[in-house]
Structure 1
Amino acid sequence: MRWYIAGTIFLATTINYIDRQALSVAAPVIRKDLGLNNEQYGWIVSAFLLAYAIMQVVSGRLIDKVGTKKGFGIAVIWWSIANILHAFGRGLFSLGAFRFLLGIGEAGNYPAAMKAVSEWFPKKERSKAVGILNMGPGMGAIIAPPLMAWLILSFGWKMAFVITGAIGFLWLFLWRWIYHPPENHPKISEAERAYILSDRPFEAIAEKTPWLHYFKYKEVWGAALARFVSDGAFYFFVFWLPSWLADVKGFSLTDIGLFAWIPFVLSDIGSFTGGWASSKLLENGVSLDTSRKRIIWIGAIGVIPVLGCLYIESAYWAIALISFALFATQFKQAALFTLPIDLFPKNEAASVWGITGSAGSFGAMLFTPVIGWLVDTISYSPIFVIVAFLHIISAILVTLFIPKIKTLTP
């Protein structure tokens, strides 16, 4: 049953990223239709990331309070409605407002998902479960380009947002039916229940702590700063890859639909492989600390070859390099995203993950308008240089601030 739960969360994360990336696929059409430049598009994206950053902290606390099932459902309803509202966008300010609303709702996805993982999986399987649900961003990015391209060509960009926004309501029926805590799930076997709860006695069960209390831990700072510097590198490809293909490589909307999804296939494979590899290391007797950090460093180094995009003319070889970079990125993130639920017990998981996720979104929010300004004033080249090394900085921060990964007692 725990793997059915993981699969359901993976579907939610996939829908989350279909709705999130819908704008990036439609961006070349919307910019032309509404007369927006790259810097204005960057500010629209930043509006999403600002709300996403603020609300990950808030939603983490709310989900810890109201519970995983209810909290996840509210988040999906909110972001689905916000995505539909994009159909009424008329320019910079209205689209920015709707992106802000989308960010409020979508911020609940990962805190709720990580809390569910902490409830349903013992420590030795958590990175594997996180690897599965973290395939959602890649799957959403795989589906979004061809789906949005077809919807835009068939019905126009406004109706495309209405249709993609409606998908979340279908998922809600599945979630309401399948999700219960393992302690009282009606479909779980006694053997699986005992297995899931097997390491609970070894987790510190803390009283609810004030939000600011977590900042006394250097480990929280390390995980948060690691996300702050590296999340923007991933969002560059999520939000700007279709525009780069159109602006630099001359791709049409049809071409974007045919090819822009390919790097995110490798992204998904990287996420699953990173989660599996970390769990395998644990099973083979490698310490939790070493298994997580080894995956983080291998992934960080693997992003550097994306610099080759500056020197090759072929769009297809460039897509291959970006695909490898996204594989490495998500290979790393499968371990990095697991750190909050490694460091804190399950009843604190959503709150701590919300802090680190918020830091990542703030970093991406600040990076995004810089991307737009660089594209309008220089080119995409300096952005590729920055993106190539942000994950190395992220890995260094984890190493410095988290000398040993172990469960802390708030």
Structure 2
Amino acid sequence: MTDTKKTNYRWIVVILLFFATTINYLDRQVIGLLKPKLEEEFNWTEEDYSHIVMAFQAAYAIGLLAFGGFIDKLGTKLGYTISLIFWSVAAMLHAIVKTTLGFGAVRAALGLGESGNFPAAIKVVAEWFPKKERALATGIFNSGANIGAVAAPIMVPWILGIYGWQMAFIITGAIGFLWLIFWWIFYEVPSKHKKINSAEFEHIHSDVDEPAAEDGPQEKIKWVRLFGIRQTWAFVAGKFLTDPIWYFFLFWLPSYFASTFKLDLTKPSLPLVLVYTATTIGSIGGGYLSSRFIKSGMPIFRARKTAMFIFALCVVPIFAARYAANIWQAVGLISLAAAAHQAWSANIFTSASDMFPKRAVSSVVGIGGMAGAVGGIAFPFFIGWILDSAKASGNITAGYNIIFTMCACAYLLAWFIMHLLTPRMKVVKL
């Protein structure tokens, strides 16, 4: 007999993904807030710091490609577990390094471990949600990235002031092991979960375009096959051009506010909290908007593209940050752009699960994430060179102005390339 009133356990699953993503970004954000202290401790230049960021990005790129296929083959429960253990240990190891080279090594280890988060989370959403709800679910868990970025400017200065920079890495890194307990208690794929009834199971699989997901070893789809598909390249282009902008917001905003507006990073930073709080609204609102378009009758792919075009336009005003007369004007412009990025992110991730079958989602997300990380390797190199040159000329703000102008253009360019590659974003048949 079919239950008439469906359970809603899938939203508990989203909460698990939300906290995992929060921890993921908390761990990667710590170094940006400790940058002034570590520059003093290890005599880093902007170029030194950019090389450390590049080590993270290079390992993240490699890890995304590896973890995507790994999670598609091994399953979400075990794959997520391995990823989280790896990155949490790497985060804690920052506390014992004594050299700049050592920081590069542990950042690379952190990037390798953290690369498993999004391929696993997007696959979980594809397993637990019909397409009409996926963008909202993705927006909710993706907002954890912003909560982690909000928590870091509050936690890290407090830990730094009382216990020192080493304990900032140890305490934040250890939080992941608490999440792991809840993951093993509460998570399973829908076909094996005892907390959902038949009505929710039927709702999850209401798209009727493929069978229910099974966790554990599955047939692996070769990457070469995915690289021959236009939809893969559309996702790759979108991630390559826009992910580096988010990495800039994560790793350089603290130092931008400190150098341009004399923000004291040894104290909890309200401007950073406001910027990353805005991104939480953008992430959830971005997922809601395209889901709302779909519920109003708009075709799925048109809804995604329309929403993404709106968010690309919302980033453009950041170029005016160069004219900001005070910190709050800059906060307003950057908050809008950062919120728009997260709204864009919720939809571009969901577009991958819209276009590809569930058994290929992690692999595709891994490939696209790798492209974003590769862009994130090149962009920090450029940022370090621009900022060191600007600092040498006595006007570091001019360097940031160039970077903000590039940010303003990136999303519209990404949208047009994606549209040229996949005008109708057809579903891929494998």
Shorter-chain TM-score category? Answer: over 0.9
CA offsets per residue over residues 5-36 of structure 1, 9 Å max, x none? 01100100000000010111111111111100
Cα distance in 2 for residues equivalent to 1:36 and 1:173? 38
The equivalent position to 1:71 in structure 2, one of 61, 75, 79, is 79
**Which letter maps to 1:284?**
S
Matches within 5 A, 1:282-301: 282-301=294-313
The equivalent position to 2:111 in structure 1, one of 103, 114, 133, is 103
Corresponding residue number in structure 2 for 1:212: 224
CA offsets per residue over residues 171-211 of structure 1, 9 Å max, x none? 00000011111011011122111211222445799964211
Corresponding residue number in structure 1 for 2:330: 318
Contact 2:159 2:168 in 1 (8 A): yes
Corresponding residue number in structure 2 for 1:347: 359
Cα distance in 2 for residues equivalent to 1:155 and 1:244? 26
Cα distance in 1 for residues equivalent to 2:269 and 2:275? 12
CA offsets per residue over residues 43-82 of structure 1, 9 Å max, x none? 1011001010111011011111111000001111000000
Cα distance in 1 for residues equivalent to 2:157 and 2:407? 27
The equivalent position to 2:122 in structure 1, one of 87, 100, 114, is 114
Contact 1:203 1:407 in 2 (8 A): no
Alignment of 1:386 with 2:384, yes or no, is: no
Aligned-residue CA RMSD in angstroms?
Answer: 1.5
Contact 2:73 2:219 in 1 (8 A): no
Contact 2:69 2:220 in 1 (8 A): no
Q: Cα distance 1:144–1:189, how it changes in 2: closer, same or farther (>3 A)?
A: same
Contact 2:143 2:279 in 1 (8 A): yes
Cα distance in 1 for residues equivalent to 2:95 and 2:412? 39
**Which letter maps to 1:104?**
L
Alignment of 1:132 with 2:158, yes or no, is: no
SS of residue matched to 2:261: coil
CA offsets per residue over residues 220-275 of structure 1, 9 Å max, x none? 11110111011111111100011111111111124553331211111110110110
Contact 1:117 1:130 in 2 (8 A): yes
Cα distance in 2 for residues equivalent to 1:330 and 1:243? 21
Corresponding residue number in structure 1 for 2:395: none
Corresponding residue number in structure 1 for 2:181: 173
Q: Cα distance 1:269–1:246, how it changes in 2: closer, same or farther (>3 A)?
A: same
The equivalent position to 2:427 in structure 1, one of 385, 392, 407, is 407
Cα distance in 2 for residues equivalent to 1:100 and 1:154? 28
Cα distance in 2 for residues equivalent to 1:388 and 1:234? 12
Corresponding residue number in structure 1 for 2:3: none
Q: What TM-score, normalized by structure 2, do the two folds share?
A: 0.93
CA offsets per residue over residues 126-160 of structure 1, 9 Å max, x none? 11111111101111101111111111111111111
Corresponding residue number in structure 2 for 1:265: 277
Contact 1:303 1:391 in 2 (8 A): yes
Corresponding residue number in structure 1 for 2:69: 61
Contact 1:147 1:257 in 2 (8 A): no
Corresponding residue number in structure 2 for 1:328: 340
Corresponding residue number in structure 2 for 1:309: 321
Corresponding residue number in structure 2 for 1:228: 240
Cα distance in 2 for residues equivalent to 1:339 and 1:100? 29
Cα distance in 1 for residues equivalent to 2:242 and 2:205? 34
Which moved further from structure 2: 186-195 or 261-270? 186-195
Q: What TM-score, normalized by structure 1, do the two folds share?
A: 0.97
Corresponding residue number in structure 1 for 2:49: 41
Contact 1:274 1:334 in 2 (8 A): yes
Q: Give unpaired runs (5+ residues) of structure 1.
A: none
Cα distance in 2 for residues equivalent to 1:94 and 1:260? 28
Contact 1:148 1:257 in 2 (8 A): no
Which moved further from structure 2: 337-346 or 9-18? 337-346
Which moved further from structure 2: 329-338 or 255-264? 255-264
The equivalent position to 1:280 in structure 2, one of 289, 292, 295, is 292
Cα distance in 1 for residues equivalent to 2:211 and 2:321? 46
**Which letter maps to 1:141?**
A
Corresponding residue number in structure 2 for 1:189: 197
Corresponding residue number in structure 1 for 2:13: 5
Corresponding residue number in structure 1 for 2:388: 376
Cα distance in 2 for residues equivalent to 1:52 and 1:171? 21
Alignment of 1:244 with 2:256, yes or no, is: yes
Alignment of 1:398 with 2:410, yes or no, is: no
Contact 1:299 1:329 in 2 (8 A): yes
SS of residue matched to 2:269: helix
SS of residue matched to 2:169: helix
Q: Give unpaired runs (5+ residues) of structure 2.
A: 1-8, 391-398
Cα distance in 2 for residues equivalent to 1:53 and 1:361? 5
**Which letter maps to 1:318?**
A
Contact 2:127 2:212 in 1 (8 A): no
Shift, 1:334, TM fit: 1.4
Cα distance in 1 for residues equivalent to 2:161 and 2:283? 32
Matches within 5 A, 1:10-21: 10-21=18-29
Corresponding residue number in structure 2 for 1:366: 378
Alignment of 1:81 with 2:101, yes or no, is: no
Corresponding residue number in structure 2 for 1:28: 36
Cα distance in 1 for residues equivalent to 2:345 and 2:157? 29
